[in-house]
Amino acid sequence: MIKKITREDALHLFPVRPPDANKGSFGRVLVVAGSRTMCGAGFLCAKSALLAGAGLVFWALPKSMQPAFAAALPEVITLPLAETEEGYLAAEAFDELQSFCADRKPSVAVIGPGMGKSPLLSRLLTELDLPQIVDADALNFMAAENGIVWPHNTPVIYTPHPGEMARLLKTDIARDEKARLSQVRELARQTGGVCLLKGAGTLVCAEEELSAVWQNTTGGPALAKAGSGDVLSGMIAGLWAQLGAQNGFNLQSALSAALCGVYAHGLAGDLAAQTRTDYGVLAGDTALHIPAAIKEILN
């Protein structure tokens, strides 16, 4: 069964913002992202988490990147970590990251955007005890490891595009809707998490209810641009931080965050395209339209 995600669905699921709240009321997002040649992925992700409403956002990034990006995004708390000669986050950075988490207590983590072949990925996916959004290079690492590092101890949202999904499942890229439905259900079954299959009409499926798959009704060709997935992961994280703080970090709040995130992300792209056209929208433009998309959902 396919369910269409509507504005009414997103409105019903969207996190509440009580007038007497403080930043601690809306959760803390940890973004582990970036490498020397893919600096912008973490920037887009962290910024989008803030724009989606997270109370605090932390960004763990290679130390050589930190001065420039701390200045470019002053609202985010940056954690400069050890890197390899190639500019990837190093495996030995994990202990410092663990100490940071013990001190700052993030609610949810985004792992993978722009991390390339970082040796840190293995430890993040097997040892980091946080609810996670697993994206981009974290998915590619998992595919290379043949699924042996599926996180199971905490709720997880997986966000593959068609190529990443095919690598994860060791199959061909889905070419029709039947194959897309089969793949998103199979990944949810194997991982026990909430799974997306991005693309036109992004699909969302949770392991708890494999028969029901949600299909997004917003978004278009404007989002077919590098960086759009980083914005989406940040939005989902920001929404999950809020929903989890209010209702607990479980698969239900994960599913709600995923549904709200894909709908609002698509809508932000649609709004950006109204002035910049489908050709000219950059991922950063989509991020800047997040507040307008949320306003349209709530009003």
Q: Read off the pLDDT of residues 125-157 as tens digits, 9 standing for 90 and up.
A: 999 999 999 999 999 999 998 766 676 689 999
**d(C-alpha 59, C-alpha 113), whole Å:** 11
Name residue 156's beta-bridge partners: 132
| Alpha-carbon distances, residue 149 vs 28, 125, 127, 152, 153 (angstroms) | 25, 6, 10, 9, 11
Both structure tokens of 256: 């709600």
What is the structure's pLDDT at 65?
96
Residue 67: CB atoms within 10 Å: 11
Contacts of 133 (CB under 8 A, 6+ apart): 108, 109, 110, 111, 156, 157, 159, 233, 236, 237, 240
Instruction: Report, as an integer, the average pLDDT of 19-45.
Output: 97
Sheet holding 28-32, edge to edge: 2-4, 213-215, 203-206, 194-197, 156-158, 132-134, 108-111, 28-32, 56-62, 77-81
In percent, the amount of the chain with pLDDT more than 70 equals 98
What is the structure's pLDDT at 211?
74
What is the structure's pLDDT at 149?
65
Instruction: Report, as an integer, the average pLDDT of 273-280.
Output: 98
209 pLDDT higher than 90: no
| Alpha-carbon distances, residue 233 vs 86, 212, 239 (angstroms) | 25, 22, 10
278 pLDDT higher than 80: yes
pTM of the entire predicted model = 0.98
